[in-house]
Amino acid sequence: MPKKLNTILNTAVLEAKNNSDGKSASYIPELESVDPETTGVAVLMTDGSRYEAGDGQDLLITLQSTAKVAVLASMLEEFGSQKVYSWVRVEPSGDDFASIARLDQFGPLPSNPMLNAGSISLCSHIPGNHEQQLHWLEQWIEKLYGTQLKINNKVYASERRTGDRNRSLAYLMKSTNVINGDVDNILENYFYLCSFEATLKEIAYFPMLLANKGVSLDGERILSIETVRQVISIMATCGLYNESGAHLVRTGLPAKSGVSGLIMAVIPNKGGIAVVSPRVNRKGTTIRGSLMLESISNAMGWHFAA
């Protein structure tokens, strides 16, 4: 398989580069500093074998909304599903990731933990004082990605400066008693979460962990099987917001997108895959990344219905 997969990855990258649709997300100014032509993919199989293609392999990419999966998984581990689902529901929204109307009309609980409101709700329940909460996030990120990740301070500052829509979501949830405590601190947790950065091969570790039923490459159980089942199910139904259904039809891979041009996807029982290209559509999904995932999944027979 190594030679075949390398060929398929390289072909997927070259074909995706022919598409010049979309542009970098401008509402977080620091994200525009990345070369919009960057197009790359990394795969980590459960047996530890790695495959890469394209450029940007050494580029540090901010996790953005892909990190919502991390806070969901860690919350399920520490608090259990009954408690977590009293803070957020698990229904696909069919709406924009930062929709205020959705929360107001169908709330008070956010529809699912992949939406901004859902992740902010979970961030409001991180235990401890503010410093302890940030440390809690750092520790869980290290567990789930298999290495210590750093914060991109420029992106963090940019998130804080331009995050008024997220502030609106948070204050709406506070007004309905969905979240309690200091809104500014809760949002600091959320912005901090989104500002972790990693390389493609580091990002591919987390979906590999999910594909390996929560067991790390060195045999340590990080997540329970029940947590893994729930997280993968939510990724499949909600991970790309109002494009989740179309993505699953095309690729058959449970995934989570981020406006940095990143998608991480689970290849069930086989491995994890991460793609990046800053050119995103109006729904915040990387266009070239989606094309690469579809091409690779079909060529490798990774669609769950294959």
List, by residue number, the catalytic residues.
65, 68, 190, 241, 259
Geometric angle at alpha carbon 272, from 252 and 191, rounded to 5°: 100
Measured CA to CA, the distance from residue 34 to residue 261 in angstroms comes to: 10
Q: How many CB atoms lie within 10 A of CB 175?
A: 10
Put the strands of the sheet holding 255-258 in their side by side order. Answer: 50-54, 40-45, 271-276, 262-267, 255-258
What are the helix and strand counts (H, E) for the chain?
14, 8
Query: Which amino acid appears at position 43 of this protein?
Result: V
- CA dihedral (11, 16, 19, 24) in degrees, to 10, reads -150
What tokens were used for 156?
């963090």
Alpha carbon separation from 184 to 24, 142, 189, 249, 281 (Å, rounded): 27, 25, 9, 39, 30
Q: What single-letter DSSP state applies at residue 303?
A: S
Helix runs in the chain, H state only: 2-16, 68-79, 81-84, 100-106, 116-123, 130-145, 153-162, 164-175, 183-194, 200-203, 205-211, 225-238, 244-251, 287-300
